[in-house]
Amino acid sequence: MWGRHVFMGYLEMPDKTEEALDQDGWLRSGDLGRHDQNDFLYITGRIKELIITAGGENVPPVPIEDSVKAEVPIISNAMLIGDKLKFLSMLLTLKCVVDDNGEPTDELSPEAVAFCKQHNVTATKVSEIIANKEPAIYKAIQEGMERANARATSNAQKIQKWAILERDFSVNGGELGPTMKLRRPIVVKMYQEKINEVYAVATERQ
């Protein structure tokens, strides 16, 4: 951005100023974006959210997460994992009913129940799907992943493994910020054990 609305720099903080502004006064917003065929600009994420794999591939997580959620309507939240790791994986939560305090419950949302019925599954709780590793639902999710992977710009940007968490993300739970954005470092800390499980099999095979 450039214009009269952009500040001149940080007071007595040349390093910070250099980071935020270039020599001509252009402000680096820190956003990632893309242009469509009509040259409209879409903000797709933040540079700080970039995942850098062990192989040095820069992966913007938000477009991949949005792609998976669009492919599989039962998914509420999707978080890409893979920073300093050999491949990408994803933590998933299922759409559920939220109680009066904004806490996610074990009850699947009407949309999620309808998705189950479409696949001849009678489950009405998140725990039922996870406990039974409900084959039809897991298959539908895997097929959605494969459709999303088909649009990946490289093999390094394909999701190799995924896991469903027992509860959805929430502001009260700490996984989401006040504007409903994923607090990625906090989610990684909270679910480190689950992440380790996802990568354990791959490590054993090496």
pLDDT tens track for 59-69: 989 889 999 99
Question: What residue spans of the chain are helical by DSSP H?
Answer: 14-20, 61-71, 110-118, 126-131, 135-150, 184-190, 192-205
Cβ atoms within 10 A of the Cβ of 127, count? 13
User: Looking at residue 92, what is its pLDDT?
Assistant: 97
User: Looking at residue 34, what is its pLDDT?
Assistant: 78
Residue 43, sorted as left (phi over 0), alpha (psi -120 to 50) or beta, turns out to be: beta
Q: Enumerate the CATH 2.30.38.10 domain ranges in the chain, comma separated.
A: 1-48
Reduced to 3 states (helix: H, G, I; strand: E, B; else coil), residue 60 is: coil
- The tokens of 47 are what? 């540079």
pLDDT tens digits along 137-185 = 999 999 999 999 999 988 889 999 999 999 999 999 999 988 888 899 9
pTM above 0.85, yes or no: no
Q: Enumerate the CATH 3.30.300.30 domain ranges in the chain, comma separated.
A: 50-205
Domain at 1-48, CATH homologous superfamily: Luciferase; Domain 3 (2.30.38.10)
With a cut of 70, list the residues of the chain below it in pLDDT: 45, 201-206
User: Looking at residue 201, what is its pLDDT?
Assistant: 64
User: Looking at residue 30, what is its pLDDT?
Assistant: 80
**% helix, strand, coil for the chain, step of 5:** 35, 25, 40
Written out in words, the top-level CATH class of the domain with range 50-205 is alpha beta
The residues, ordered by sequence, that sit 6+ positions from 108 with a Cβ below 8 Å of its Cβ are 74, 94, 95, 96, 97, 116, 123, 124, 125, 126, 129
- The tokens of 170 are what? 């929430």
